[in-house]
Structure 1
Amino acid sequence: MARAIDRHRRGLDRDTLYFPESDPEEEACKAAAAYLGGGPLENIALTDSTTMGLGLLYAGLRLKRGDEVLTTEHDFYATHEALRLRAVRDGIVVRKVRLYDDSATASGPEMVSRLRAAVTDRTRVVAVTWVHSGTGVRLPISEIAGALAERSRGRDEADRILLCVDAVHGMGAESSTPVELGCDFFVSGTHKWLFGPRGTGVIWGRSEAWPHVDPTIPSFSHEAMSAWRNGHPPQGPAAVLATPGGFHSFENRWALAEAFAFHRAIGPARIAARTREQASRLKDGLSRLRHVRLHTPRSAELSSGLVCCSVDGTHPGEVAARLHEDHRIVASVTPYREPYLRFGPSIVTRPEEVDALVRAMASLR
């Protein structure tokens, strides 16, 4: 992938007319569609990040004043703020439900039950996150999808509840596809667990769901530009028209296909198993330290690659700084009201490195 980025960068630097023989954006969409479970490449919109994808989706959904969007207290700023801005602009109603009281002991059936109970006749959209970046809790998306399908039974297609998922900490760490999860929209950046180029992302949507979204930023697609030249509104695949135009970091976007190809060559199921193995090893080690409190569920069914914890009497930022200074271990601090220390074991970490992290955490007593 790095070689592909460098090849495209050198081509653009050398010749302003540089463009690969095969359409690289089309190749990126094909690769994304294949990785995400098949289906037409026209179901993929390309973005620069998860935040951009969520902003485009929640700004573009066809909602009217009084329609309700249900999200959770646990979602990240990007979801909450995109929905707040939409509410200010158009008068939609945004409600937040608490899915669990203690993340470490979260229960799948309880999360589904709480969400189902919060749905009303005015609910048109449910906006959730697959793997919570603040706790590492992984939602049972397929069960949520089933509950919402049951709640939507008997509604007109225009009023069916749409399930929209921020998947950035699941895509690349888990092997389930959006089709298998049963969601309507699946939004993710690709530089995290997919280890793709920075400044790239995708929105996947069901063919039947895309007509519910209007473009927010003008597209530079052939369909849009041709319509403009001929003096009429653009017509074409909704995802294509929803892909923002303008100048992007094309060398990164054009290398995106290689990132998907790399994961498909290894096998998503093998990657998910390896990620789960590393995360479980870390959680097992941390749980034996009396001064460390684990906030991510021990169950692999309710967690993924993220592992969140706290150290008694010490701010997470101080812990992260000491780990880096004393052990060259990189940790992050969750940007929430109650911050936790966060680790991300994955296919690029080894068991010895996980064990070294546990020893480093033990030394913080």
Structure 2
Amino acid sequence: LRPGDEVLVTTHDHFSHHEAIRFATERNGASVRKFALFDEASTATVDGIVTRVHDAVRPATRVLGITWVHSSTGMRLPVRQIAEALREVNRGRAGNERVLLVVDGVHGLGAADETVAAMGCDFFCAGAHKWIFGPRGTGIVWARAENWARLKPLIPSFSDSELFTAWTEERPPAGPSNANQVTPGGFLAFEHQWAMGAAFRMHQQMGRARVAGRIRELNGRCKAGLQEIRAVKLHTPLDPELSAGICCFEVEGLSPDAVVKALLARKIVASTSPYKVSYARLAAGLFNTPKEVDTAVAAVRTLATA
């Protein structure tokens, strides 16, 4: 980023996104602008989302940051279509003026049947401790090969021999930045890395389509059940192409915290979304059963009719 460049981000993103972008733009003299992809997640459409993205991009925009699956509403964005819209925008731009698409995929990786390299994004980041079932504090950053050179390391890496050789020879490192050079510095927790490998192998053995199908089945069942309760408002789209493994909802007359506490008293684990506007959330994973989903929905129905 350079002075005058703009980072475009949505109003739906997490605290960590907005703050990380603020830090980066303040360091580089760039600016950040937020826009809304939709007014109501439950009624959003692919065409409407893509149109808003296209209309939000300005000549100074250099980066678009989006979240694949929103933890605020359960919305799953149509990343491929957004990437295609940006390709049209970039068609008439010089290389250093292209809009890069950066995706936080933490709630999609391990929950949706997608190949990251085929989605059309320039950078893809995801923690491995959620749907992948890896250890906390682990994650991945994927980028197209040509994009690593656009990054500047912030912390000296122990994973790139050229950095160390250049240091011993008291010269600048040869060549542009690469993935190893932007890997977190210091000695890494190898036991966590080994556990990550085991988690990814587990998913490979089960098969991505099979995993995604199970999550779609369970959460579709959850959404359908919640949708039938008169005093419940479901915020997650019913369309499985616009949702994944998170079901966000409100119970009339109860705060999200009250809903979560009442469900916990019934031995059902729910959560609240950590946003300015918060909802209660249920997220059926691979370890859940249809019967458990039905039990959770029945408990919400009891709360809603109490």
The reply to whether TM is greater than 0.5 is yes
Q: Distance in 1 between matches of 2:112 and 2:134?
A: 15
Aligned counterpart, 2:254: 314
TM-score, with structure 2 as normaliser: 0.96
CA RMSD, 1 decimal: 1.2
- 1:68, distance to aligned residue in structure 2 (A): 0.8
Task: For structure 2, list consecutive stretches of 5 or more residues without a partner in the other structure.
Answer: none
1:199–1:249 contact (8 Å) kept in structure 2:
no
Question: Where in structure 2 are the equivalents of 1:29-68 lying within 5 Å?
Answer: 63-68=1-6
Taking the aligned partners of 2:232 and 2:190, their CA distance within structure 1 comes to: 44
> Which deviations, in whole Å up to 9, do the C-alpha atoms of 1:301-350 show, x marking residues without a partner?
1111111001111111111111111x111111001111100111121110
Correspondent of 2:269 among 330, 334, 348: 330
- Between the aligned partners of 2:73 and 2:174, the Cα distance in structure 1 is 42
Q: Whole-Å Cα distance in 2 between the matches of residues 72 and 219 of structure 1?
A: 31
Residue type matched to 1:238 in 2? N
Deviation at 1:223, TM superposition (A): 2.8
User: How far apart are 1:355 and its partner, in Å?
Assistant: 0.4
| 4+ aligned runs moved over 6 Å, structure 1 | none
Q: How does 1:229-240 map to 2 (within 5 A)?
A: 229-235=168-174, 238-240=178-180
Deviates more, 1:94-103 or 1:248-257: 248-257
| Separation of aligned partners in 1, 2:261 and 2:60 | 47
Structure 1: give runs of 5+ residues left out of the alignment.
1-62
* TM-score, with length taken from structure 1: 0.81
Is residue 344 from structure 1 mapped to residue 283 from structure 2 by the alignment?
Answer: yes
State percent identity of aligned pairs: 48
Q: How does 1:13-28 map to 2 (within 5 A)?
A: none
Q: Which amino acid aligns with 2:193?
A: R
1:124 aligns with 2:62: yes
1:258-297 equivalence runs, <5 A: 258-297=198-237
Q: Is the 8 A contact 1:165 1:183 kept in 2?
A: yes
Report the AA paired with residue 331 of structure 1.
A
CA distance in 2, matches of 1:157, 1:302: 32
2:24 to 62, 81, 86: 86
Equivalenced residue count is: 302
2:130 alignment partner AA: K
Equivalent position of 2:125 in the other structure: 187
Partner of 2:293: 354
- The answer to whether the 8 Å contact 1:216/1:242 transfers is yes
